[in-house]
Structure 1
């Protein structure tokens, strides 16, 4: 297919495709003349992935390039390739400076979280960015004087694990690595707001029932 058809099929504008080509995010097409090239279904899949990383995942061009480098390297397993994409997705947080009081608390809480998740049998790298995000949230709660009971933590973990299993069962259906990576980005970024919204609606429902009975009409 020519560039215009590639744009139509992928939903990516021609100027954006040319930019991705210049940045090395999309491989060049097969030249058919001095100014024209032919593109394939592989280019359609790659464009969908690049668009997902840059627009949905909010990655920088450099981050997207790093993910693609891992995706194209046969030395990495499928698990490692999908993990590279997820690790690049925001948010990212930094630990407090070494030798600070905040860092002492941070390391203690991070260690407790690690121990609890390991006790539950979860397998992940100690360098996972999500672990730092989790540590920051729990440390902030503790700093504000709120308890962070282990029982609540276990309930959250037990509730979220089946969701992850269902999502990755779907991702496993995508044999092409570009499609699997795109699905990983989409499920990670787009499903998280759904979970947050459902939790808040559940809070409203529970509060209404606790204060106003169990009628079908929502409380004013």
Structure 2
């Protein structure tokens, strides 16, 4: 296909495609004449991956280049490729609250206690340490002691479900795209689900029917509550 067809198929503008080629993110098309190049489905798959990394993952061009280098590395394991993608989309908060060294030790102990094969220097470990230190600064340390392992256990189940899904993709590019899109958008889904579960559990544990909530019809016509407390 020509570049115009590639643009229509992927929804990426022609100037943007040319920019990706110049930046080394997208392989150049096969020259069919001095002024014409031909592209194939491999280019379309790579373009979708690039757009997923940039538009959904929010990555810079330089970071996308690093991820694609891992994708294209000969003999690279799936774990290594997914790790490169996951590291790239894991933000580390800029703040450095008091108690951060203790929080880092707490994270390291959690990783060891649960037998996770994850490095204590992983970006997610640092992000977690910053959040835990902020909890401590707000006087909520007891909350962490009581629920941290419950959170970890729930996240292990979520990770199993995530990887079972992405593992169905045959090619590495589609697999990496699923990890990026699934992680970024999955975080939003998990947050919303947590809020909904809080509403339900708060109503069951602390409330009475209709207290602090509106009754709305459920799928079977029964009343369900809308709104309610979020204990977090």
**How high is the TM-score relative to the length of structure 1?**
0.90
Gaps (5+ residues) in structure 1? none
Residue matched to 1:218 = 225
Name the structure with the higher strand share: 2
- Compute the displacement of 1:75 (Å): 4.9
How does 1:9-28 map onto structure 2 within 5 Å? 9-28=9-28
Deviation at 1:206, TM superposition (A): 2.5
- Look up the match of 2:138: 144
Once the two structures are overlaid, the 10-residue window that deviates more, 52-61 or 197-206, is 197-206
Select the residue among 176, 186, 194 that pairs with 2:181.
Answer: 186
- Deviation larger for 34-43 or 6-15: 6-15
Shift in Å, 1:120: 1.1
Q: Is the 8 A contact 2:111 2:120 kept in 1?
A: no
1:203 to 2:198 alignment: yes
CA contact (8 A) 1:31 1:38 kept: yes
Q: How far 1:219 sits from its partner (Å)?
A: 6.4
Is 1:134 the equivalent of 2:141? Answer: no
1:166 to 157, 161, 174: 161
1-structure distance, mates of 2:207, 2:95: 41
Q: Deviations over 1:132-158 (max 9, x none)?
A: 111111110110111233330111111
Instruction: Measure the CA separation in 2 of the matches of 1:151 and 1:93.
Output: 24
Equivalent residue, structure 2, for 1:154: 149
Shift of 1:172: 1.5
Q: What is the aligned counterpart of 1:116 among 81, 101, 110?
A: 110
1:149 aligned counterpart, secondary structure:
helix
Q: For the structure 1 residues 34 and 93, does the alpha-carbon distance in structure 2 shift closer, same or farther, using more than 3 Å as the test?
A: same
What's the offset of the Cα at 1:128?
1.1
Q: CA RMSD in A?
A: 2.0
Matches within 5 A, 1:69-84: 69-84=69-84
1:110 is displaced (CA, Å) by 1.1
Q: Identify the structure with bigger relative contact order (alpha carbons < 8 Å, sequence gap 6+).
A: 1
Report the TM-score, using the length of structure 2 for normalisation.
0.85
Give the direction of change, closer, same or farther, for the CA distance of 1:203–1:47 in structure 2 (3 Å limit).
Answer: same
Q: Do structure 1's residue 2 and structure 2's residue 9 form an aligned pair?
A: no
Shift of residue 93 of structure 1?
Answer: 2.7
Unaligned runs of 5+ in 2: 216-222, 228-232
Give the match's secondary structure for 1:212: coil
> In 2, Cα distance between the equivalents of 1:166 and 1:51?
25
Q: Which has the higher helix share?
A: 1
CA contact (8 A) 1:57 1:90 kept: no
